Amino acid sequence: MKRVLIIGANSTIAVACARCWAANGASFFLVARNASKLEQTADDLRSRGAYEVSVLALDATNLEGHAAMIEEAVAALDQIDIVLLAYGTLPDQAACERDANLAVREFEINGTSAIALLTGLAAVLEAQGQGRLAVITSVAGDRGRLSNYVYGSAKAAVSTFCEGLRVRLYKSGVHVTDIRPGFVDTPMTQGLPLPRALVATPESVGRRIVKGIDRKVDVLYVPAFWALIMLIVRSIPRPIFKRMRL
């Protein structure tokens, strides 16, 4: 039986992953901001076969609340086998360009808070001598692009942090997976002019994430074709790239 801690448990991708684990009788400790929606998520997982589900309402940007949350999760699960960080916001890039405070706030949500959580959680899993630590970043972190470089820079910071953390934890039996989704049909992407052929369903993304964590993949592009797309994007020479409106 897997014991799973999910932070950002109400997100569409997190729910899709949790349903896969619930079908195999996993136990959960779920964390999210919206308490009433969190209870609905918990009930859904119980109906799908989850062994036990505990919940805690917490805003991940409340750094002072992280230690108590982690302590409560360990007490509820006894041991943490899988951690999934699955929260974030997609800011208005133009608004961030006009308002430095907004840009910093979005970086805190998508970058700083995740790094703080990973630091605390890494210590717990390292002490256990086992576990999987997975965090949803984004293909946007692969290169700074005109359309979303505030969001992308925060995700890039988390990806770089994960790379170093993976090296640190390797000999401890703890694995770190950096999950980089492309376009996914979620509330975050509603209304965006996205090419439908590149938009994945949450269910397919959730299945790939669960399998990737199980296989201890280091960097997981979801869907897989985004690895090739981003290889091409990263290969564009800077003199050309700075003239592109990606």
Answer yes or no: 151 catalytic.
yes
Average pLDDT over residues 39-58: 98
DSSP 67: H
Residue 202 has pLDDT above 90, yes or no: yes
* Catalytic option among 51, 87, 149, 151: 151
Q: Domains of the chain, with CATH numbers? A: 3-241 (3.40.50.720)
Q: pLDDT tier at 188 (50, 70, 90 boundaries)? A: confident
Contact between 82 and 24 under an 8 Å Cβ cutoff? The reply is no
- pTM, whole model, 2 decimals? 0.95
Residue 38, pLDDT > 70, answer yes
**What pLDDT was estimated at residue 139?**
97
pLDDT at 193: 67
Tokens linked to 154: 């925060």
- Chain centroid to CA 23: 21
Based on its alpha-carbon atoms, the radius of gyration of the chain, rounded to whole angstroms, reads 18
- Cβ proximity of 85 and 5 under 8 Å: no
The phi-psi region of residue 67 (left if phi > 0; otherwise alpha if psi is between -120 and 50; otherwise beta) is: alpha
Over residues 229-240, the mean pLDDT reads 96
Which tokens hold the place of 28?
């959960």
DSSP 176: E
If you average pLDDT over residues 54-63, what whole number do you get? 97
